[in-house]
Structure 1
């Protein structure tokens, strides 16, 4: 039975009007999301805000998006937006970028040791600025769970459809793409049902445990360990975690590990045994069983079907 969920945010989604921001991307994304309740009156509209650095909300947001820059503007380490983005992400916000917007996420430290993408023409500059990022400029979009990056000036359409799928489901992606006359080929529907657990639930101890799992998913993670991270008793931790995320810790961890493995199978060349080890499985058959229980495919079959083609 699928355990992936769509969650329409109940907190603001902020499109950031950073210095040099592409107006077409800001207003295009706003228009794209505004169409959803018109196409489906039962769907909840997003609380969408376009904010400059001096009008940013101080309360937690559901997601933040840095759009392309058309003036070759690059963020300084001490820019208020950098600190704000890092703080919001630490509080559970989904962090997104399009094209050169990735420089803002990189400056905020949100891409270190993660896969990410940006415009292919920015590859050399980006690698020099952020050598710890696992840059994959050949990909139009990279979803790394709580950080999503898209490459190319017009990739805001890809990001918009991807977020639509995450928040409203695959059927809405199809309806929206048809309405906008956007060709959704290559945007497989399986991507729109990826593991995206809620992070705007407001339970800070649970969020601390989620962050710990994000960073250490390849390590043994037991309920006692996670309860200690959350500073709760084991019984209270399991109750709080399940209420906040909709999943018990063990099921959540399996889904997280499978999601990380999916990305590695799609984008990388490592062996299935190495990927199993990297995501926390010391037994390859156990990994294969867990992977198939979530995706319906063996790791090898999944790689064959969904591996990103380069060139």
Structure 2
């Protein structure tokens, strides 16, 4: 039998951490290790999963679970799982943040899932980087961490020493990415097949719906946003929007982009594509009829805009997300 030092992957148990993610990623990693053990003829599982928990806000985390307590190794990766409810307050994870900084300084990889990225961001190690977070949390994340760029189109961003994933269930994507890195693509593919989950490569924008910024404090722009919602972004002109906001056109454009993070044209495209998603998923109209219904007279232009925003063509989106009859 071949021997090798196991790769230790730790999971942080901070207050209200989602237990389903903690246990799920533990099972995924140990199962992948078992597959590698069988195929490589190893003496023991090459993956060691440990759970770490701080007993108070002032004490660093310690091991509270160890899948291979008799084998020596050092932390290679620490995963910060998602949290149920609102992102955790900084003071509640202060000692954990300091501990994470130390793990990283010693060469460890830090990874997070969904709201766990808020904990990771408190370390300061994400500043000037691009990370991903759940689309519903993006606005609050950007407000709390203005030095970090958030890309909500991506389900997972691997920045070598920092890996962030977006949704509550994206621990599956993170787990498979770690398996691929440490155990190879063959073990990763076999693990995905056994668990019947998609291999890495999905994008968050396949799933996320348009969530406009509304808490920006500009009442004139907010009035326009509410009106655009009622007309679904169809058949509008810059002159109409500026008049509704009681602003000069150039002033309106500047304030609209500052408040919403996008131009008025991009905003209307998002509204129309959001409406098209629902029509494709729940209705039976052809793609051409859907294009016309949401305000596009040219189906080809609609397909281009839809694919750019969603990452899938209208037909691919319908095929993937339309409920199938029992």
- TM-score band (shorter)? 0.5 to 0.7
TM-superposed CA distance for 1:137, in Å, is: 1.3
Residue matched to 1:72: 86
Residue matched to 1:103: 118
CA distance in 2, matches of 1:142, 1:185: 11
Normalised by the size of structure 2, how large is the TM-score?
Answer: 0.53
| Matched-pair contact (CA < 8 Å) for 2:87–2:118 | no
Higher relative contact order, structure no. (Cα contacts within 8 Å, ≥ 6 residues apart): 1
Residue matched to 1:293: none
Uncovered stretches (5+) of structure 2, i.e. residues with no partner: 56-60, 64-72, 204-306, 311-326
TM-superposed CA distance for 1:179, in Å, is: 0.2
| Matched-pair contact (CA < 8 Å) for 2:155–2:202 | no
Q: Deviation string for 1:204-244 (max 9, x for gaps)?
A: xxxxxxxxxxxxxxxxxxxxxxxxxxxxxxxxxxxxxxxxx
Residue matched to 1:153: 168
Residue pairs, 1:1-311, within 5 angstroms? 10=6, 12-40=8-36, 41=38, 42=40, 44-54=45-55, 55-56=61-62, 61-77=75-91, 79-184=94-199, 186=201, 310-311=309-310
TM-superposed CA distance for 1:185, in Å, is: 6.4
TM-superposed CA distance for 1:69, in Å, is: 0.2
TM-superposed CA distance for 1:117, in Å, is: 0.5
Residue matched to 1:213: none
TM-superposed CA distance for 1:45, in Å, is: 2.5
CA distance in 1, matches of 2:131, 2:10: 20
CA distance in 1, matches of 2:125, 2:74: 17
Q: Indicate the structure (1 or 2) with the bigger Cα radius of gyration.
A: 2
CA distance in 1, matches of 2:137, 2:7: 33
CA distance in 1, matches of 2:110, 2:30: 20
Aligned residues: 184
CA distance in 1, matches of 2:17, 2:54: 12
Q: Deviation string for 1:226-284 (max 9, x for gaps)?
A: xxxxxxxxxxxxxxxxxxxxxxxxxxxxxxxxxxxxxxxxxxxxxxxxxxxxxxxxxxx
CA distance in 1, matches of 2:35, 2:53: 29
TM-superposed CA distance for 1:135, in Å, is: 1.0
Moved over 6 A (4+): none
RMSD: 2.4
Uncovered stretches (5+) of structure 1, i.e. residues with no partner: 1-7, 189-307
CA distance in 2, matches of 1:167, 1:309: 33
